[in-house]
Amino acid sequence: MPVLNSDNGRDKRFFVPEPKARPGDTPNFSQLPIPPAGLVARPQTSASPENLRDLPFELIRTLNEDGIPEGEWQPDVPNSIVLKIYEYMCLTRIFDTKMFRAQRQGKTSFFLASRG
């Protein structure tokens, strides 16, 4: 482990952890707890922020191992609306790609992608 000298005379240790897998290796995620689909309850839209604090730290699974939706998170939305939402998501991704390329070529001064 390399030692860096600091201004106050004490040594600072520089530690780089060893990755669990290298490029080309098969990653192993067995140490991550994966709850069953539908286990996490969906909060009401009127829920207070205090009741939502732990939600970002939980894995919310809506599909079981067979790809079938389970639990309260499955919205009652017609397939036609779901397809329209997906179409808009794809259009946004195409727009992002084209605008990012234009920004890299200097054809626009600033662009912030909305990938997510």
Q: Is the pLDDT of residue 42 over 70?
A: yes
| Domain annotation covers residue 30 | no
Do 112 and 83 lie in one domain? The reply is yes
- What does the DSSP assignment read for 7-39? TTS-EEE---PPPSS-TTSPP--TTS--PPTT-
| pLDDT at position 116 | 62
Q: Is residue 17 part of a domain?
A: no
Total count of domains within the chain: 2
Which residues constitute the domain of residue 90?
77-116
**Is 44 within the bounds of a domain?**
yes
Q: Nearest Cα to 65, choosing from 107, 36, 94? A: 36
Within-domain flag for 65: yes
**Residues 110 and 85 both lie in one domain:** yes
Higher pLDDT among residues 75 and 82, named by residue: 82
Query: What mean pLDDT comes out for the span 21-44?
Result: 87
Confidence of residue 10 (pLDDT cuts 50, 70, 90): low
The answer to the question of residue 100 being in a domain is yes
